[in-house]
Structure 1
Amino acid sequence: MTVSLILLAAYVIDRIVGDPRRLPHPVIGMGKAIHAVEQLIRRFFTRPQSLRVAGILLPLIVVGGAWLLTAVLLWLLSLVSPWLVWLAEAWLISTTIASKGLKDAGMAVYIELHKGDLPAARRALGMIVGRDTTTLSSPEIVRGTVETVAENIVDAIISPLFYALLGGAPLAMAYRAVNTLDSMVGYKNEKYRDLGWASARLDDVANLIPARIAALLLALCACLLQLDWRRSLRTVRRDAHRHPSPNSGYPESAVAGALGIRLGGENVYHGVASFRAYMGEPLRPLEPEDIIRTSRLMLLCSSIFVCLCAVVAWFWIGG
């Protein structure tokens, strides 16, 4: 029962508490560690070829360090009491999940759109996306929000729970290190093309299975919420591979198909326009309520998956 209860407790903690600002968050520590290791590497590796080699070293140090520190912490707590280990595992795993934060971020945009305050909605969206939001129309704000919530169903919920099931808090924390690395150095620009390539590839590999699981679960959730699950699956088969990411297209296309909307199109990053392949069909215009529908899909999908993980832990791992 222990693993099952830890997973369920971690998810409940995240749904209720989220990420309190007053408590230290492991991801902040990971970000500081990544920055420190990057600076150290750049002191000793300056040429492009050597940076590509160091690109392998960076995730080995950061991801391996996250796993090791978590495992050592749990081992030390086990010397005191198994109860401390279980409580620590539940809390640590909860910090790798962001269902409440994802819902809150989407609703912050929806509230401003509902009030008709476009500048405030743009600012709220700008807090969670990298694209330029200063001139976006209401439908484009909705698109950006829906895309972000849909994409992060994998990164912020399914993948952390998947790795927590396989390896407890140490592996869940290692995954969060992978994801944080990708968000910080996994860019194909001049600065990170050589140093960040391995981090970006590792993130792609880590999310490969969870992204496909998410697409199937989203179709199931579409059925349960009386949305079009058949169109959701068709859209995944047709459009998921068009996304520049090998994984993000799966949840985005599943949501687009379920809602009967089209995602993708032109985004602007630091003044440079970039076109992202379309996902879904524009059967109707985008509207603010699509943010609520996407949040419902996300929350139901995450609830079903954590229950599945608990069942698997009970029968396969033996509790």
Structure 2
Amino acid sequence: MDSTLFLPAAAFALDMALGDPHHWPHPVRLIGRALERLERLVQPSPPDRDKGVPGSPDAPGRKSGATPAAKRVFGALVAALLGLGVYALVAWLGRISSVGWIFSLYLAYAGLALGQLTRETRAVAALIGSGRLDEARAALAFLVSRDTSVLDEAGLWRTLAETASENFCDAFVAPMFFLCLGGPPLLWLYKTVSTMDSMWGYKTPRFADLGWAGARADDVLAYIPARLSACLLIAAGFLMGLPAGKAWASFRPDARKMASPNAGWPMAAAAWLCGASMGGTAVYFGRTVEKPKLGPQYVSWDILLFRTLTRLIFISGFGMVLLSELLLVALCTVFS
């Protein structure tokens, strides 16, 4: 039987065992550096992630570089050419005689991030649970784009639950979905677009035009995985004895409240299954935003509910691997 049939399971096992060691080179970091260099071609200065503060690229009065139309065209070209370039490179590496399977396995594993997501969110949860809130705010700031310095304990738990459930799709289900559809090359085309969205996809003066194409491409690519993520969470919740029926009846109207066409699906499903609310007031780049409320209202997250969410995500992830292997076996049987 073709060894590629077992690629999703092998990649999942490596991801959960190893995560993303910071001292290892990682393709996402290389893509990120490429995007930073490309941005300098149309922006007047290197990116400053501390937006909204005096002297930052988004501060009033700073020149914006290229025109908005030119930025949109440039962003679309980067999304297309960089994505296709990465696809071609990964495909070539996988075809190298004798060692191609090693590259394929590594790139499949490196494209998944459920293990690292679990490690990082548990580390933040431990800090919150032990009352080390300042350390928790600093650690959480590496996982989210909102301002964590203004969060109290309840806000820290809620934000942590939101990022864990949303990234279940972005970090695992979507990459695994494309791994099954087209192997590591298609997975890394998706990861290129997703990285572009995470770096340039902000609705700020600096990135609104430059990141428009990447953000729209990410919306399209993640459309099915986001809904699949919610279904996996509901199925896992049923197995765990959580209120899956109520969640199934309630999460879809909530998911559609979000500005993003995809983010609300796993978030709303997780909120209803765990019985705690998501959304509400958040601060992004110095601006206060009222996000739609998801899940049961006025129920706050705590360490016990977050542990339930962690188990829910792990079981859902295992379900995605099982589904992927069954799909690959079925396709192999049909087309053999």
1:73 to 93, 104, 117: 93
The separation in 2 between residues aligned to 1:177 and 1:317, in whole angstroms, is 28
The separation in 1 between residues aligned to 2:130 and 2:76, in whole angstroms, is 48
The separation in 1 between residues aligned to 2:105 and 2:176, in whole angstroms, is 11
C-alpha deviation, 1:284, in angstroms? 3.5
1:260 and 2:275 equivalent?
A: yes
Give the match for residue 285 of structure 1: 300
- 1:260–1:283 Cα contact (<8 Å) kept: no
Give the match for residue 73 of structure 2: 53
The separation in 2 between residues aligned to 1:92 and 1:150, in whole angstroms, is 24
SS of structure 1 residue aligned to 2:71: helix
Give the match for residue 8 of structure 2: 7
C-alpha deviation, 1:190, in angstroms? 1.1
SS of structure 2 residue aligned to 1:268: strand
The separation in 1 between residues aligned to 2:130 and 2:67, in whole angstroms, is 52
**TM score, norm. by length of structure 1:** 0.94
C-alpha deviation, 1:231, in angstroms? 2.0
Deviates more, 1:286-295 or 1:100-109: 286-295
- 1:232–1:257 Cα contact (<8 Å) kept: yes
- 1:142–1:290 Cα contact (<8 Å) kept: no
1:123 to 125, 138, 142: 138
Give the match for residue 253 of structure 2: 238
1:204 and 2:219 equivalent?
A: yes
The separation in 1 between residues aligned to 2:301 and 2:14, in whole angstroms, is 33
1:163 and 2:178 equivalent?
A: yes
Deviates more, 1:142-151 or 1:85-94: 85-94
The separation in 2 between residues aligned to 1:32 and 1:237, in whole angstroms, is 37
Aligned residues: 313
Name stretches of at least 5 consecutive residues in structure 2 with no aligned partner: 45-64
What per-residue deviation string (whole Å, max 9, x for no partner) do you get for residues 257-287 of structure 1?
0011110000012322111000011363321
Q: Equivalences for 1:47-196 in 2 at 5 Å?
A: 47-75=67-95, 77=96, 79=97, 81=98, 84-196=99-211
The separation in 2 between residues aligned to 1:144 and 1:218, in whole angstroms, is 19
Give the match for residue 32 of structure 2: 31
SS of structure 2 residue aligned to 1:104: helix
The separation in 2 between residues aligned to 1:25 and 1:55, in whole angstroms, is 23
The separation in 2 between residues aligned to 1:276 and 1:301, in whole angstroms, is 26
Identity %: 33
Partner letter of residue 309 of structure 1? Answer: S
1:247 and 2:266 equivalent?
A: no
- Structure with more relative contact order (C-alpha pairs < 8 Å, separation 6 or more): 1
SS of structure 1 residue aligned to 2:256: helix
The separation in 2 between residues aligned to 1:144 and 1:47, in whole angstroms, is 35
The separation in 1 between residues aligned to 2:178 and 2:301, in whole angstroms, is 34
- 1:146–1:290 Cα contact (<8 Å) kept: no
The separation in 1 between residues aligned to 2:34 and 2:298, in whole angstroms, is 46
| Change over 3 Å in CA distance of 1:53–1:135 after alignment to 2 | closer
The separation in 1 between residues aligned to 2:252 and 2:119, in whole angstroms, is 30
CA RMSD of aligned residues (A): 1.6
Name stretches of at least 5 consecutive residues in structure 1 with no aligned partner: none
Partner letter of residue 55 of structure 1? Answer: G
What per-residue deviation string (whole Å, max 9, x for no partner) do you get for residues 51-91 of structure 1?
2222210101221111111112222x2x2x2xx22232121
The separation in 2 between residues aligned to 1:272 and 1:283, in whole angstroms, is 24
The separation in 1 between residues aligned to 2:151 and 2:71, in whole angstroms, is 38
The separation in 1 between residues aligned to 2:42 and 2:222, in whole angstroms, is 26
The separation in 1 between residues aligned to 2:140 and 2:304, in whole angstroms, is 15
- 1:158–1:302 Cα contact (<8 Å) kept: yes
**TM score, norm. by length of structure 2:** 0.89
Deviates more, 1:217-226 or 1:86-95: 86-95
| Change over 3 Å in CA distance of 1:135–1:37 after alignment to 2 | closer
C-alpha deviation, 1:137, in angstroms? 1.6
The separation in 2 between residues aligned to 1:113 and 1:190, in whole angstroms, is 34
Deviates more, 1:283-292 or 1:224-233: 283-292
Partner letter of residue 79 of structure 2? Answer: P
- 1:3–1:314 Cα contact (<8 Å) kept: no
C-alpha deviation, 1:42, in angstroms? 5.4
Deviates more, 1:185-194 or 1:280-289: 280-289
SS of structure 1 residue aligned to 2:311: helix
Partner letter of residue 4 of structure 1? Answer: L
